[in-house]
Amino acid sequence: MPRSYPVLLFFSVVLMLRCHGTSSTLLWCYCPPDANYTTNSTFQTNLHLLLASLSSSAAATGYSNDTEGRSSDQVHGLALCRGDVSSSVCQTCLDAAVQDIIQSCPNGMTSTIFYVDCLLRYSNQMFFSTADTSFRYWAWNTQNVSNQQQFETTLGNLMNDLTEKASSSPKLFAAGSAKVTSFDRLYGLVQCTRDLSAYDCYECLQYTLTFIPKCCSWRKGGKVYLQSCYLRFESDLFYNLSAVEAPPPRAANDDSGGKSNNAVKTVLLVVVPVAAALLSLLAIFMYCRRRKPAMPRRMQLHKRMFDNEDQQEIKSAESLLLDLEVIRSATNNFSDANKLGEGGFGPVYRGTLDDGEQIAVKRLSRTSGQGIVELKNEVVLLAKLQHRNLVRLLGCCLQEEEKLLVYEYLPNASLDKVLFDPVRRVQLDWARRYKIIEGIGRGLLYLHEDSRLKIVHRDLKASNILLGWDMNPKISDFGLAKLFDVDETRRNTSRIAGTYGYMAPEYALRGRFSTNSDVYSYGVLILEILTGRKNCGYQGSGNSIDLLGYVWRHWNQGDAMQVVDQSVVDRCQPQEVLRCMHIGLLCVQEDPAQRPSMASITLMLNSYSIGLPPLSAPAFVTRSITVSGSGVHGRDTQVSLQGREIYKGSTTRSAKESKNDITIRNEGT
């Protein structure tokens, strides 16, 4: 009998016999109006075959994905049940989903339907192994919590813990609870579709966490759903506690009833001696463990990096220590063929680990201005920070005079390599540029306000924004970052380190830095992304003027669209561009108090109902700089702020002319 007959028969039975009183609750159905298939077409037949197959096969394991058909009639789909539900509940939910997805999206070639207990998705486009965050749905309990601060802290810790557990579990699922008070508990659940890698699952769930403050961080319950992952939390138990806490099921015994007593005796004769031998080995192993052998030399070298530090703070950082031979093997012994680029700190190499994961290795040169202090700073900070818009540190190594930092590999290099390249910049259409502006803003908001720490980056620039597969921006290079107390607003330093063109004037001149100085750097980035031009050294209309002054002049003249990159100016929404330009100019106001916070900026970017404050002239900065070694030193450094000239220091060390992406280190005032 052809395969299609029984499957189509099953599909027909499901449609006819599905119970209207199903216990599974429909949450939402996503049906984009992009394309429709023709009734009674080959695509429709393939779709029905696929849905029926997914429903039956996923009921046993909780997950299934498959493809039906060929060429333009091909359809891809997956079915997923919540990790704590039984097979019968899973089957009931998916049977309902099969009917409802057809009724909710008649003739749709792409659709996703979400129930409390299951998910069903199909498309004419391949979507497996890719985290899809293009559509989201959230809902919340209407009741507010009484102690908001304590609840939010508990919620954040619980969700971060569950995210880590889910991404490392075979089912990409985790559920658990945390105590809010002596009387109240908070329950949470997270899950990804099982076509994702562990890393993509983690990234997807981290993205869902960013929506909690927008909808439900002060509510007694909430849920956020993306097409590839979701989370839910409640003040009351909502998942199957016994299924979550139950140990993994043992393999079923093959007891057909036909075994003889002699066979049983034979098994015992084999098993008992083997068990005795294993017990003896176990006893020897436990004895040896008590002796605590000396730490290998390479680990002692690693430990020196963290001596005299608060061990609680660096405990997670120590888990990132990698062996030098592993990195050498991954990079083909730092082969020139694997070199991605080189900066003042040293070269960066591409590598591939034994499990196939691609990495980027920053190899600090012995002459680098970025030394052990900056390396330790970056390791300790990134070990604590996890966000989809922050680069992920995989490990570090200090062996045989090597100082190595190992990151996730991001294929599209840094923003400056694309934005300022006349050929590659066409990859950045307006939608992608807006996405990059938003992503950098979310990353900074996390650093300044949403993480458990309060971080000022101090070196935000285009070369420190890395671009992922989908041009998702990630902030990198935390060697100069500073950790602030929660209620601390500003700090002074005599050691000014950063990049001219991105440094706020109060920091460059007086060593004062704060979250406002990061906002200034972000404003420069916004204007660079809009115009496709670097800030420093830009020659506008024959006069030496920096980008901020160039944009401000056209803004006042009423022809601001003339400064927008010509590759996007004809394919963008002018009002959207001008709003971003207004926000960028707000960020670079000379007075730090006049710059908006990252929370306000994020709100301005996402809500057009929010009015924008009036503008005053930004801080204009022009200068003559010389470099020496790894540092940049000003020779008769001239800084002009709104017409007032200030001369700050000088040195007589000669060097070549500086570039915008060189990091300065002014040792003293």
For 580-607, the DSSP string reads HHHHHHHHTBSSGGGSPPHHHHHHHHH-
CB atoms within 10 A of CB 582: 18
How far is the C-alpha of 83 from the C-alpha of 90, rounded, in Å?
A: 10
Assign 517 to helix, strand or coil: helix
Instruction: Determine the Cα–Cα distance for residues 157 and 354; give it in Å rounded to an integer.
Output: 32
Q: What angle do CA 189, 67, 208 make, to 5 degrees?
A: 25
From the CA atom positions of the chain, what is the Rg in Å? 29
Q: Span 204-215, mean pLDDT?
A: 86
CA atoms within 13 A on the CB side of 440: 28
Tokens representing 24 are 């599974």
Task: Output the CA angle 407-480-618, nearest 5 degrees.
Answer: 115
Give the bridge partners for 79, in sequence order: 64, 120
180 close to 153: Cβ distance less than 8 angstroms = no
Tell me which DSSP letter residue 108 carries. B
- The Cα–Cα gap between 548 and 554 comes to 10
pLDDT value of position 480: 66
Q: Domains along the chain?
A: 4-123 (3.30.430.20), 136-245 (3.30.430.20), 301-408 (3.30.200.20), 415-617 (1.10.510.10)
Residues 6+ apart with CB under 8 A from 313: 380, 384
Using pLDDT thresholds of 50, 70 and 90, give the confidence band for residue 396. Answer: confident
Q: From CA 218, how far away is CA 141, in angstroms rounded?
A: 10
- Give pLDDT tens digits for 97-117: 999 998 888 899 999 999 999
pLDDT at 293 over 60: no
Outline where DSSP puts E strands in 159-216. Answer: 173-179, 185-192
Residue 640 confidence (pLDDT) = 32
* pLDDT tens, residue by residue, 228-260: 999 999 999 999 998 887 554 444 444 444 444
481 vs 269, which has greater pLDDT?
481
What pLDDT was estimated at residue 668?
A: 30
Cα angle at 521 between 598 and 430, to 5 degrees?
A: 80
Residue-wise pLDDT for 426-445, tens only, equals 889 999 999 999 999 999 99
- When pLDDT is averaged across residues 385-404 and rounded to a whole number, the result is 85
pLDDT value for 77: 95
**Dist. CA 258–CA 253, nearest whole Å:** 13
pTM, full prediction? 0.51
188-198 residue pLDDT tens: 999 999 999 88
Closest CA to 460 of 430, 481, 485, 433: 481
Q: Quick one: average pLDDT of 81-100?
A: 93
Question: Mean pLDDT throughout 496-522?
Answer: 84
What is the pLDDT at residue 16?
A: 31
pLDDT, tens digit, 9 for 90 and up, residues 581-619? 999 999 999 999 999 999 999 989 988 878 899 998 887
Residue 14: which of 72, 81, 98 has the closest Cα? 98
8 A C-beta contact, residue 162 and residue 174:
yes
Of 350-364, 445-459, 473-487, 520-534, least confident by mean pLDDT is 473-487
Position 246: which residue type?
A
500 burial via Cβ count (<10 Å: 0-12, 13-18, 19+): buried
Sign (positive or negative) of CA dihedral 659, 664, 668, 669: positive
User: Who wins on pLDDT, 145 or 16?
Assistant: 145
Residues 405/378, Cβ–Cβ less than 8 Å: yes
- Please compute, for residue 270, the number of CA atoms within 13 A of its CA located in the half-sphere on the CB side: 5
User: Which of the four pLDDT bands, split at 50, 70 and 90, describes residue 12?
Assistant: very low
**Higher-scoring residue by pLDDT: 211, 465:** 465
Residue 370 banded pLDDT, cuts 50, 70, 90:
low
Interval 496-508 mean pLDDT: 80
In single-letter form, the type of residue at position 105 comes to C
- Calculate the average pLDDT of the chain: 76
Provide the sign of the torsion angle of the four alpha carbons 379, 381, 384, 389, taken in this order. Answer: negative
The confidence band for 571, taking pLDDT boundaries of 50, 70 and 90, is: confident
Please give the pLDDT value at position 203: 86
In terms of residues, how long is the chain? 669
Looking at the predicted structure, is the pLDDT value of residue 317 above 70?
no
Average pLDDT over residues 493-518: 79
Q: What number of helices (H) and strands (E) belong to the chain?
A: 20, 29
Mean pLDDT of 275-301: 38
Asked whether the beta carbons of 651 and 633 are under 8 A apart, the reply is yes
Q: Say how far apart CA 635 and CA 519 lie, in whole Å.
A: 28
Annotated active-site residue in 459, 477, 546, 661: 459
**Which uninterrupted H or E stretch holds 136?**
strand 136-140
Report the range of poorest mean pLDDT among 291-295, 519-523, 568-572.
Answer: 291-295
Of 166 and 148, the structure prediction assigns the larger pLDDT to: 166
Q: What is the pLDDT of residues 38-67, one digit of tens each?
A: 999 999 999 999 999 998 889 889 999 999
Q: Is the pLDDT of residue 658 over 70?
A: no
Whole-number Cα distances in Å, 454 to 243, 307, 458: 38, 24, 13
Q: What is the phi/psi pair of residue 265, to 5°?
A: -65, -40
- Rounded to whole angstroms, how far apart are CA atoms 91 and 64? 12
**Range among 7-16, 102-111, 335-344 rated most confident:** 102-111
In 3D, which of 628, 543, 555 has the Cα closest to residue 586? 555
Assess whether pLDDT exceeds 50 at residue 450.
Answer: yes
pLDDT given at position 331:
95
Least confident of 8-22, 278-292, 529-543: 8-22
Q: Give the DSSP per-residue string, 536-551.
A: TT-EETTEE--HHHHH
Tell me the C-alpha distance between 510 and 480, whole Å.
17
Half-sphere exposure of 406 (CA within 13 A, CB side): 24
**Residue 246 DSSP one-character state:** S
Spatial distance between the Cα atoms of 21 and 28, rounded to a whole number of angstroms: 18
Q: How does DSSP classify residue 106?
A: T
Exposure of 359 in the CB half-sphere (CA atoms within 13 A): 27
Respond yes or no: is residue 416 known to be catalytic: no
Q: Residue 81: pLDDT above 70?
A: yes
Strands in 346-352's sheet, in edge-to-edge order, are 339-343, 346-352, 358-363, 402-408, 393-399
> 42-61 and 87-104 helices cross at what angle (nearest 10)?
160
Beta strands in 6-49 (DSSP E): 26-30
**Percent of the chain whose predicted confidence (pLDDT) is above 70:** 71
User: Is residue 492 predicted with pLDDT exceeding 80?
Assistant: no
Q: Please name the residue ranges forming H helices in 465-514.
A: 505-510
Three-state secondary structure call for residue 639: strand
Rounded Cα gap, residues 529 and 595, in angstroms? 19
